[in-house]
Structure 1
């Protein structure tokens, strides 16, 4: 299966396995983001992305500027290693690495998780690209991607044994939308996919089309 098919299959399986009342709470959370037009407030194609420096899974600082000096950069924001849709996407991006490298394009993934938890994500998914920790969502907030989980959705996550504060090292329950950006060497956004729905991800074919 390709990424889009795998995400669809995961969503269908979850709809059968998760109790209806919990699915309704999760759906309301997504609808609230859509009703607030959260994606429209995020950076778009043509915008200049701000430079940033974040620690990777080993705690080493990686700057966007240093990556852009080598060519284009694909940036994938994900919610955390606890999110099955995020793991599916990260593995699909790993499979695209040879294509990215062919076009002098770097790949980074960013989440609000601590470096230790990012390392777990790297090891679990056998990732060889940089996975960065955006503690307190400082970079994601600059891009307009961040929202706060409502109380009822927090309880649903707790029932799934998902401890967002433990993963993120804070108590704010803030997460980024799962956005994907293609940024050229000048820092200009050439492609942006910013869904409010956490089950959606950028089509790899669209990413590749925009780096060629």
Structure 2
């Protein structure tokens, strides 16, 4: 089943479960964020990515430049382990690890979660790739993906029991847009999926196709 099909199925469940006014608020704030066109200022295909290093869920430091010595890198930016869309995406990417590895590509996921929460996300989803903590969104900002969650949604999520200070160590409510990149060994972006709509995510098959094109 494609990731889109899984997300569509989840959306049906969500619409059946949540009150109409809550769904309306989610849709309204989502449309308002889309209208800001944040992704237009994010890093795009053909641009170079500056080196960075972050701590993974095992407590080890990973450096992009080191990963690229062995092959291309796939970077998935996600909001957090509390986000059902993020979990669906991470698990879908995880299923494609053998195909990615066949192209010597290394997959990493990045969120502003604290290390303990990053570990929880990796364990909960049984992820076999590195999940990195971008505390304070330094790398997300470098990629031009950063936005502040609407105050109405902040209140809504708090009502759902999502404690941002617990997950991120602060209450800035700053998050990265969902984004997936393929970066070649020269640090150049060869594929980019960026969306202000948090319900849309890159298909693993599209990421794999980008790797195959690069190797032609």
- Report the TM range for the smaller structure's normalisation: over 0.9
Report the counterpart of residue 146 of structure 2 in structure 1. Answer: 146
SS in 1 for 2:75: strand
User: Number of aligned pairs?
Assistant: 212
SS across alignment from 1:141: helix
TM-score (norm 2): 0.96
Q: What is the SS of the residue equivalent to 2:88?
A: helix
Alignment of 1:53-202 (within 5 A): 53-202=53-202
Q: Name the structure 1 match of 2:38.
A: 38
Structure 1: 5+ residue stretches without partners: none
Partner Cα separation in structure 1 for residue 11 and residue 30 of structure 2? 14
Secondary structure of the residue aligned to 1:79 is: coil
Aligned-partner Cα distance in 2 for 1:164–1:25: 20
Could you list the runs of 4 or more consecutive aligned residues of structure 1 that deviate by over 6 angstroms after TM superposition? none
Counterparts of 1:148 and 1:24 in 2: how far apart (Å)? 20
Q: Deviation at 1:58?
A: 2.1
Shift of 1:50: 1.4
CA contact (8 A) 2:30 2:197 kept: yes
Instruction: State the distance in 2 between where 1:205 and 1:100 align.
Output: 10
- The two structures, once aligned, show a CA RMSD in angstroms of 0.9
Contact preservation (8 Å) 2:2, 2:203: no
